[in-house]
Chain A
Amino acid sequence: MATAREIKSRMKSVSSIGKITKAMKMVAAARMRRAQERAAASRPYALKIKEVLSSVVSDPSLLGDLQAKAHPLLQKREVKKVGFLVISSDKGLAGAYSSNVLKRAVTEISATEGEAVIIASGRTARDFFQRRGYKVISEHLGFSDKPSYEDAQELAKVAVARFAAEEIDQLYVVYTIFKTALSQIPTCEQILPVEPPAREEGKAEAAFIFEPSEDEALKVLAPRYLETVIYAALVQAAASELGARMTAMTSATDNAGKLGQKLLVGYNKARQAGITRELTEICGGVEALKQAQN
């Protein structure tokens, strides 16, 4: 049995760990709320740009020879190398968040036939794939829990450059969709070549005038659209990361509390046992002295 002093020092460390996890939980909760707000604020732009893109590609004058006239980013070609943009976290202590998204990525990678290359966003993703000998062609660190639109632009720029250089023929993004703080779903979506969103059936649209032209619009629109999709994924992933961290830290705080209780009981027992032992020793000593005097 551990001595009272040993138990005391463990209690101290457990309670200070509990304080830290509690603080982390509160920070994660506050930031998760903000990340959710950001995700909501980015939605109107994403919806609208999707709408414009679908208007452009479904314009009668482009229809039919879309494939021929299309912007390079929309062109399909034979798939030899498949890129995976894996979005995970920079820091740990977020429960199974990183391992879930990485597991999903590995499943997707083993399901593809071509050669897989990785664009890693987040330290955990980079370390994971480098350790396992995958080809990591680009890494982006430091913004996993607070992505800005510029970060998405940077990622899009890399993706476009690699795609143009035919280093990748297809690009998937693997990230985590935020449902609630308790449920986040790892997902995989194709983002390159850009699949123009289908127009809703039965919605007769007026023909647009394009200024200066559809081609010109598509040239600007395609990379913009890619940025928007990546930004949406980053924002979702950030909210998920913070949500997962909050949940993990909540249970860590609970566990620290429970463990503290257990240790306290153990400590009291040890202390009492010590007192009892001392008393018996003193009594025994007194008895022995008495007998010696007689």
Chain B
Amino acid sequence: MATPFTFEIVTPDKMLFATEEAAYVGFKALSGNLGLEAKHLPIIATMDIAPLKVRFTDGSEKCFAVCGGFLEMKDNKCTVLATKAEPGEAIDRARAQASKERAEHRLAAKQEGLDVQRASLSLKRALARLKASEYSGKN
């Protein structure tokens, strides 16, 4: 059995999730995908807008949509600081799908005065939420 470590997700308005029984955390840093297990060296990672996966010691998994932020791991304790985070099963898939299409349309139409950065960020968020939701749906 994998060594457990403490894992928490903190957002500005609340402590979203906390467990003592995490075995593995997989997420996307700005530089690429990373996976952490217990007793990892102290690390501070800047996260991209992407789904984040936690595997527990009993083998079950949980997926979150995380909209950027930081992940800090030290002393066998992993803390995710996210501006916004949602557990996969709480995501309204229809809404995420709609906002994905909206962002795609906006990017494809290339209208004058389009805030490309904002539209592509919104697309990224929608994709992260969709993926996280799909993943949670399978379990």
Contacts and interface: CB of A to CB of B under 8 A. Distances in A.
A56 B46 contact: no
A138 interface: no
B4 interface: no
Interface string A191-233: 0000000000000011111111000110011001001100100
Given A208-B74, A211-B31, A44 B15 contact: yes
Contact of A207 (B11, B14, B42): B42
A129 interface: no
A113 to B, nearest CB: 35
A272 B74 CA distance: 82
B44 A41 contact: no
Contacts of B74: 206, 208
A41 B83 contact: no
A51 B31 CA distance: 23
Nearest to A209: B43
Interface residues on B, range: 20 to 34
A212 B81 contact: no
A45 B15 CA distance: 8
Nearest to A206: B42
A265 B70 CA distance: 68
A210 B44 contact: yes
Interface residues on A, range: 20 to 34
Contacts of A46: 12
Main secondary structure of the interface of A (DSSP, over half): helix
Contact of A55 (B13, B31, B44): B44
Contact of A49 (B14, B29, B81): B81
Contacts of A48: 10, 72, 79, 81
Interface in A34-78: 38, 41-42, 44-46, 48-49, 51-52, 55-56
A170 B69 CA distance: 26
Given A41-B14, A48-B72, A212 B83 contact: no
A22 to B, nearest CB: 31
B91 interface: no
Interface in B14-67: 14-15, 29-31, 34, 41-46
A77 B44 CA distance: 29
B10 A149 contact: no
B44 A212 contact: no
A211 B43 contact: yes
Given A41-B14, A49-B81, A149-B13, A56 B29 contact: no
Contact of A211 (B11, B29, B81): B29
15 contacts: A45-B13, A52-B44, A52-B72, A206-B74, A208-B72, A209-B41, A210-B44, A210-B45, A211-B29, A211-B31, A211-B34, A211-B44, A211-B46, A221-B46, A228-B12
Interface of B: 10-15, 29-31, 34, 41-46, 68-70, 72, 74, 79, 81, 83
Given A48-B79, A48-B81, 11 more contacts: A45-B10, A46-B12, A51-B72, A52-B81, A55-B44, A152-B12, A208-B42, A208-B43, A208-B74, A211-B30, A212-B30
